[in-house]
Amino acid sequence: MHMIRRLETAAGNLYKEKLIRGFCHLYSGQEACAVGMKAAMRPQDSIISAYRVHGWTYLMGVEPVGVIAELTGRQSGCVRGKGGSMHMYAKNFYGGNGIVGAQVPLGVGVAFAAKYSGTDGVCLALYGDGAANQGQIFEVYNIAKLWDIPCIFVCENNGYGMGTSAERGSASTAFYTRGDYIPGIWVDGMDILAVREATQFAINHCISGKGPLVMETMTYRYSGHSMSDPGTSYRTREEVQDVRQTRDPITSFKEKILTAGLVTADELKKLENDIRVTIDEAVKKAKTDNEIGLDELPCDVYSAPLEPTVRGITPWNNLEHKRLGPAVNLH
C-alpha cells in the first residue's frame, strides 16, 4: 500500500512538472482495495480494471520503474511508452482500459476462458460507481449468471464518478445489490483485511460453482478524478481531510500491526525508506530514459502482419511494419 501511495505521489508530481501528459488517474486513498484483493488472488486468477490502475500494474508484477517510465512515455515503461497511464498490461492483468465500462464484459470473457480451459481461475472485473450504470455491465451480469461464469464484479465505490457524486448519478447507490439475481457483498474498502477476507469469500464462491458475485468496496480517492481535476468543486476540502485523518487505509493498518506487535516502528521505518529509495530511483530513470525510436511507431499493429509496410503521412514515406512484442496468443 505504501509503495502505491508513494508511486502515485510521484506520478502526481511528475504530472505537475509536465513530464506526464494526457490523463493521469491516481489511486491514493484506495490502496486497501487493490492490495487486499491481490492478497487473496491465486496465481491462476486474473484481474481487469479501468484507468485508475498504476497500483494494480505494480501489484501484478511490474516494477515501479516500469510503471513510472510508462507514465513518462519512455522505453523502460512496461509497454515501452506506447500505452501510457491507461494502457498497462502484465501477466493475468488485462489493463488498463480507457472506455468506461468496456472492461467489464472483457473481464467476463477472461473468466469465461478460465472456465472453458479448466484452469480453475476467476477474474476480478473492476469498475467504479460511475461506471456501475453502464448498460453493458447489466448485459454481462445476465450472461455471467446464465452461464455460471467465475467472474467477480468489483465495484470500487469511491463516492464520485468524476465530479458527480454517487447520489447524483445513481438512482440506487447500493451497488452491491445492482446485480439483482447475482448475490452481492459490501466491504469496507479502507480496511485491507476486510477486503482480503471478502475477496477470499468471493473467490471461494465462484470456484465452488456458485457462479458470479458482486463485491462493492466502499473507498475514497484523495485526488480529483484525474490530474486535471483539483477535486474541490464538487466536494469540500474538509471531507477529504476528514477521510485522511480518520480512515486512511495505510495509517489504520499501520496502527493495527504496530499495536499488535507484529512489526516494530523501526522495521516500518526501514520499509518506508526502502520504498522511498525505490521510487526515487524509478523517477530518476523515468525522467532521463529515452523514448522509443520512430521506427517503433508502425510496430506491432498486427501480430501477423500481411503487408510489409504501414501507410505513412504521405504515400512517399511508408513505414516498415516491425514485430517486436511477444504476442502471447500467437499460436
Partner 1 sequence: MVTLSTGSVILVNVAKFLTRRAFSTSRIVEAQQMTVRDALNTGLDEEMERDERVFLLGEEVAMYDGAYKISRGLWKKYGDKRVIDTPITEMGFAGIAVGAAMAGLRPVCEFMTFNFSMQAIDQVINSAAKTFYMSAGKVNVPIVFRGPNGAAAGVAAQHSQCFGAWYSHCPGLKVVSPYTAEDHKGLIKAAIRDPDPVVVLENEILYGVAFPVSDEAMSKDFLVPIGKAKIERPGSHITLVAHSRAVELSLDAAKELAGEGIECEVINLRSIRPLDEETIVKSVIKTNHLITVEQGWPQCGIGSEVCARIMESEAFYHLDAPVIRVTGVDAPMPYTKSLELAALPQPHDIVRAVKRVLNVK
Of residues 122 and 190, the one with the C-beta less far from partner 1: 122
Give min distance, CB of 230 to partner 1, in A.
Answer: 29
Can you list the pairs that 132-138 forms with residues at least 24 positions away whose Cβ atoms lie under 8 Å? 132/157, 132/170, 132/175, 132/178, 133/169, 133/170, 134/100, 134/101, 134/104, 136/101, 136/102, 136/104, 136/105, 137/101, 137/104, 137/105, 138/178
d(CA 137, CA 212): 13
Is 320 near partner 1 (CB under 8 A)?
no
d(CA 205, CA 128): 22
Query: Which of 9, 12, 63, 87 contacts partner 1 by CB under 8 A?
Result: 87
Piece of 21-29, 229-237, 249-257, 293-301 that binds partner 1 (CB under 8 A): 293-301
- Rounded to whole angstroms, the Cα distance separating 304 from 324 reads 11
Asked if 153 touches partner 1 (CB under 8 A), the answer is no
Least distance from C-beta 5 to partner 1, angstroms?
26
- Beta bridge partners of residue 310, listed in sequence order: 319
Residue 300 touching partner 1 (CB under 8 A):
yes
Backbone CA torsion sign across 300, 303, 309, 312? negative
Question: Could you say whether residue 180 binds partner 1 (CB under 8 A)?
Answer: no
Rounded to whole angstroms, the Cα distance separating 272 from 270 reads: 5
Q: Could you give the CA distance from residue 89 to residue 87 in angstroms, rounded to a whole number?
A: 7
Choose which of 171, 262, 294, 304 interacts with partner 1 (CB under 8 A): 304
Positive or negative, the CA dihedral 231, 236, 239, 241 is positive
One residue of 80, 178, 205, 221 binding partner 1 per CB under 8 A: 80
Site string for partner 1, 36-65 (x = CB under 8 A): ----------x-x-----------------
CB 197 within 8 A of CB 203: no
- SS3 of residue 155 by DSSP: strand
Work out which of 233, 290, 315, 317 binds partner 1, going by CB under 8 A. Answer: 315
Number of residues that bind partner 1 (CB under 8 A): 56
> Per CB under 8 A, which region of 14-22, 99-107, 251-259, 272-280 contacts partner 1?
99-107
Q: What single letter denotes the amino acid at residue 187? A: V
Q: Can residue 302 be called a binding residue for partner 1 (CB under 8 A)?
A: yes
DSSP element (H, E) containing 160: strand 160-161
Residue 310 touches partner 1, criterion: CB under 8 A: yes
Is residue 177 part of the contact set for partner 1 (CB under 8 A)?
A: no
Measured from the CB atom, is 262 or 306 closer to partner 1? 306
CA dihedral 107, 109, 114, 115 (to 10 degrees): 120
- Among residue numbers 107 through 146, which ones bind partner 1 (CB under 8 A)? 107-114, 116-117, 123, 135-136, 139-140, 142-143, 146
What is the contact mask toward partner 1 in residues 240 to 279, using x (rule: CB under 8 A)?
Answer: ----------------------------------------
Query: Using CA atoms, how far apart are residues 6 and 28, in angstroms rounded to an integer?
Result: 9
> Hey, what's the cell of 235?
466536494
Range in contact with partner 1 (rule: CB under 8 A) among 167-175, 197-205, 238-246, 322-330: 322-330
At its nearest, how many Å lie between partner 1 and the CB of residue 143? Answer: 6
Residue 312: CB minimum distance to partner 1, A: 11
Name the residues that contact partner 1, by CB under 8 A: 46, 48, 79-80, 82-83, 87, 89, 94-99, 102, 104-114, 116-117, 123, 135-136, 139-140, 142-143, 146-147, 299-304, 306-307, 310, 315, 323-331
